[in-house]
Structure formats: C-alpha cells, structure tokens
Amino acid sequence: MHFLIVKLSAIGDVVHTLPAVAALRRAYPNSRITWIAERAAANILLGNTTIDELIIIDTKSWRKKFWQPIVLKEVIQTVKKLHSNKIDIAFDFQGLLKSGLIALISGSKKRVGFSDNGLREKASRLFLSNQVNVDDKLHIIEKNLQLIKSLEIENAQPYEFPISVSSEDTEYINNLLLEYNLKEFAIINPGGGWPTKIWSPKYFGQLSDWLWEHYQLTSLVTFGPGEEILAQSVVKASSLGHTYQITTNLKQFVALARKATIFIGGDTGPLHLAAASKTPIVGIYGPTLANRNGPFDAKDITVGLDLSCRIDCHRRKCPTNNECMDIPLKMVISAVEKRLPKIKLWQINKNSSAALASH
C-alpha cells in the first residue's frame, strides 16, 4: 500500500497533520508514505521517520516565473516523482484547489478529502473521489485524524509529533544558552503571520520585564521571515536588560522550545511547534479561535477577548480597528501566573497583577 499525504503549508498546518500521519504509520508499518509539501514548510519534515519520501515543491515561485523553462522542468520532475511508485490512496489534508489537483495528478484512483464544510475551497471537491464527513469545529488535529479514520484507524492517542532535530541544531541551541548562561527561560514570539494576529510589542516588552522581576526568567525573542523589526521593538520596549533577540531556523526553534520554561505568543507556526515540543504555553488569540487552532494540552492557557466578531473571522485585514488584539497586559500576566510550573509558584508576587492593572 502506498499513501500520498498532500499537506502543502503552512508550518502550523503541517504540524497539525503529523499525528494523523504517525497514526497511519502505526496502522500500516510496512506501507509506503510519501508527503508533498511547499518548500517554506517542508524543512520541518526533513528526517521525519514516519514518511519514506518527501517531495518538495515551490508553487509560489512557479507562479512568479511560470513562463520560464526551468519551471516547466520542475513541474515535470514533480509529476514523475509522483508517478514513480503507484499511489493507492491520496489524502488531501489541505482542502484547496491546488492540493486537490495534486491529488488528481498523482494518478491515485482513491483521493480522500474533507466533506464540503471542511474544505477551504469548496470547488476542490471536484478532484476528490471520497469525502469524509468532518466536524469543522473540532481542533484541526482531530479534524485531520478523521480522514485516516476512514481506514478504521481509531487509536490515535496520544498525539505523536515526530520532528527530527540534528545534533548540529541541538548544539547550536546549547551553545546559545551557554552564551547567555541560561537554564530556564521564556520564549516570546511576537509575530503572527497575519497583521491581525499581532499583539502589542510594547506589552510584550513589559511582559518580559515582569517575567524577570517575578520569576528571574530571561526572555528570548524569536521571529520569522519579515518579523525582525517586530522582534527588535519588543527588545526596545523592555527596560531591564534581560530580553534578547535570537535567530533560529525551524529545527533550532524546536530544540529551543524543548528546553523552554514557557512559550508566550500568538497563533502562528512557532506556537504550534512549541505545543508539539510539550512546552508550557500561553497563547494570545484574536481573529482565530483557540478551540480549533490552539494548543491541545489541557494545562495550556489561551487569552482572548469575548467579541462577537471573532466568530468565524479569520481575516488578515480587519474592517475596523483590530479590536480583538486589544488584550490588556494584565490578562496575559494572569494567564502566565496560572501556567508557569507549580514548582515556581513561591516566586510569584501575588500583587503583581494589581500593580499592572492600569496598563
């Protein structure tokens, strides 16, 4: 049996698909599993022990240079790879026209995807041979698991996130922590992927100072492509000198998250990588809802405002003033107080939230 996994991007989406593919591997240990993914998200799959082949594509680059012969050559090579081993079942975990088209081009006669309510682009159903009824209000991990349950695979707990981290990447993080003389630290990730997911850099900087004052936790500020200035703003907003901007690739971030005391940030790839790494999390949510896209550990905490416009929002541009991200600093501090490991509770200044109530 040969399975094709079509989950192209983004980082968080790929992470949320890992438990389904791991469960598929457990149920079919001797079968072949091929995963096709966009270049920007594929790095997190390198070295993955649950898949036999990773096909990397770059449709964004292809669209920009579609008239160039090299693009046609890359497309033909991709099709040849898909056809090199007959595919029995293609799972479209993306629900887009392009992902459905890839499933069709793969030559698989059985192409399994979500029911219409779970598709991001409804027309993609035209490329599917089988649609599985899903509850789109479930956490995205559970939604993905429903696709493979069509093969009567039920035992998908606990979630598995087989992310391979090289010794070089681990050593990079170990040396970084040694440089700053850190054993315990917080990760602050101010980015959001979308402008509507970004919380105030000023508040992140003040939160970092609070973490040092009350927990003696240094904050390491991480960032993705195009977010360097945002990370710099967080460091500038911190006044106590225990906030540092660092640079990591995806695998190095996983190595960092596996050692972190807590992660604080919005709904974006690093949060989902931290969740997969079992890092304690405080998530800051606006246009997306945590019950579907949030961390899945019951001990983790998400913060968001109770606004009717948040329901089914998912807007990358707010028609008003992005009120959903006007989350008071004291709300996030309260969540951090509750989430930090209990062995540190003796360090909490019980009056800290009240002292910052005016922010």
User: From the CB of residue 328, how many other CB atoms can be counted at a distance below 10 Å?
Assistant: 16
In the prediction, which pLDDT does 53 show?
98
Amino acid (1-letter code) at residue 153: I
Instruction: Record the tokens describing residue 292, joined without a space.
Output: 């579907």
Of 13, 201, 279, nearest to 5 by C-alpha is 13
**Which of 291, 247, 255, 271 minimizes the C-alpha distance to 192?**
271
CA distance 235 to 243: 6
CA dist., res. 302 & res. 263, Å (int): 11
In the chain, count H helices and then E strands.
Answer: 14, 12
CB-CB contact of 4 with 90 (8 Å): yes
**Looking at residue 260, what is its pLDDT?**
97
Which pLDDT score is estimated for 308?
A: 86
Half-sphere exposure of 245 (CA within 13 A, CB side): 19
Q: What is the pLDDT of residue 150?
A: 85
User: Closest by alpha carbon to 192, among 322, 97, 81, 62?
Assistant: 322
Q: Please tell me the distance from the alpha carbon of residue 23 to that of residue 356, in angstroms, as a whole number.
A: 46
Q: What is the DSSP letter of 138?
A: S
Element (H, E) at 73: helix 69-83
pLDDT at 74 over 80: yes
User: Any idea of the CA torsion for 244, 249, 255, 256, to the nearest 10 degrees?
Assistant: 10
* Spatial distance between the Cα atoms of 227 and 176, rounded to a whole number of angstroms: 20
Which pLDDT tens digit goes with each residue over 289-317? Answer: 899 889 999 999 999 999 888 888 888 89
pLDDT at 155: 67
- At 56, which helix (H) or strand (E)? strand 53-57
What confidence score (pLDDT) does residue 350 get? Answer: 40
Task: Give Cβ neighbours of residue 162 (< 8 Å, ≥ 6 apart).
Answer: 18, 22, 48, 49, 50
Alpha carbons 254 and 258: distance in angstroms, whole number: 6
| pLDDT, tens digit, 9 for 90 and up, residues 47-57 | 999 999 999 99
Taking 90 as the threshold, does the pLDDT of residue 158 lie above it? Answer: no
pLDDT tens readout for residues 220-275: 999 999 999 999 999 999 999 999 999 999 999 999 999 999 999 999 999 999 99
Question: Residue 225: CB partners within 8 Å, gap ≥ 6?
Answer: none
Q: Classify residue 152 by burial, with Cβ atoms within 10 Å: 0-12, 13-18, 19+.
A: exposed
pLDDT of 356 higher than 50: no
Q: Is residue 305 within 8 Å of residue 284, measured between CB atoms?
A: no
Q: Which of 182, 252, 247 is nearest to 218 (CA)?
A: 182
Percent of the chain with pLDDT over 90: 80
Mean pLDDT of 191-206: 94
Nearest to 161 by CA among 297, 53, 342, 302: 297
Percent helix, strand and coil across the chain, each to the nearest 5: 45, 15, 40
Structural domains in the chain, CATH included, are 2-151 (3.40.50.2000), 167-355 (3.40.50.2000)
Do 217 and 186 contact (CB within 8 A), yes or no?
yes
| Two tokens, residue 293 | 């896209």
